[in-house]
Amino acid sequence: METNLTIGIFVIGIVLLIVIGICSYIADKKRREALRALAAKLGLSFNESKNYDLATQYSFLNKLSQGYNRYLFNTFSGVYRGEQVLISDYHYETYSTDSKGHRQTHHHYFSMFTLQLPATFPELTVTREGFLSKIAQALGYDDIDFESHEFSRNFCVRSRDKKFAYDICNARMIEYLLKNQDLSIEIEHNILALVFESKTVMEQIEMNLNRLLEIRSLMPDYLFTRI
């Protein structure tokens, strides 16, 4: 009797796994179709495939230099409102060992929105002030302070070029970021990037793409004309 019950539970478990797998496949397929339709609406191309080369190409960005097995997927690319942009989901792996010595793989996902700039710049990061940034400051990794105490209290700004940081975090940019405190910005080489700690949310793609262009519009013109 106990043997039959064990077999029955095992079979039910297998069936549930199959059903969950099918439902996940259908949901992913619908999402990809919706992403493709949105890309067409925005005038961008769409590629659902894993792209390891692009992950390597953008690995100078802090968030894209973590872990192993790094790739982009569900990628939008092209020209939007006169700017060369790229939107993508991003994956990387980290590993740990459990108490029995077995290696475990942890999958991490986030989304990135990037825009190509017509000039190259030193690295600059603007992130939300948090527990880890406070620890870094205590260890000597100071961020840059601004006249706006509210901005300095809420955001951690780091760059080796303080003048460039002040140029970017001008009064209009500070006002904008205080109204959009979920944004994390990185500028390096000729790339302006926004990174979000989850896969792209369908309903937020166009909004975040427009916010990326808003950030670009708040960069002073003289940054692109100086020699």
Per the CB < 8 A criterion, the answer to whether 144 and 164 are in contact is no
pLDDT at 138: 40
Residue tagged 């209290």 (tokens): 153
Let me know whether 90 and 141 are in one domain.
Answer: yes
Q: Do the strands 155-159 and 68-80 form a parallel or antiparallel pair, or are they unpaired?
A: unpaired
Phi then psi for 49, rounded to 5 degrees? -70, 155
pLDDT at 26: 67
Let me know whether 136 and 51 are in one domain.
Answer: yes
Domain count, the chain: 2
Let me know whether 26 and 116 are in one domain.
Answer: no
Let me know whether 3 and 51 are in one domain.
Answer: no
Let me know whether 26 and 72 are in one domain.
Answer: no
DSSP 86-99: EEEEEEEEEEEE-T
Per the CB < 8 A criterion, the answer to whether 199 and 77 are in contact is no
Let me know whether 149 and 162 are in one domain.
Answer: yes
Let me know whether 26 and 58 are in one domain.
Answer: no
pLDDT by residue (tens digit) across 147-179?
Answer: 899 999 999 999 999 999 999 999 999 999 999
How far apart CA 139 and CA 133 sit, in angstroms, is 10
Per the CB < 8 A criterion, the answer to whether 111 and 89 are in contact is yes
Let me know whether 27 and 116 are in one domain.
Answer: no
Let me know whether 182 and 214 are in one domain.
Answer: yes
Let me know whether 172 and 219 are in one domain.
Answer: yes
Report residues of the chain scoring pLDDT below 70: 1-28, 130-142, 226-227
Range(s) of the domain holding residue 21: 1-42
Let me know whether 112 and 200 are in one domain.
Answer: yes
Per the CB < 8 A criterion, the answer to whether 50 and 72 are in contact is yes
pLDDT at 17: 61
pLDDT at 133: 45
Q: Give the number of other CB atoms < 10 A from CB of residue 71.
A: 18
pLDDT at 153: 92
Let me know whether 97 and 147 are in one domain.
Answer: yes
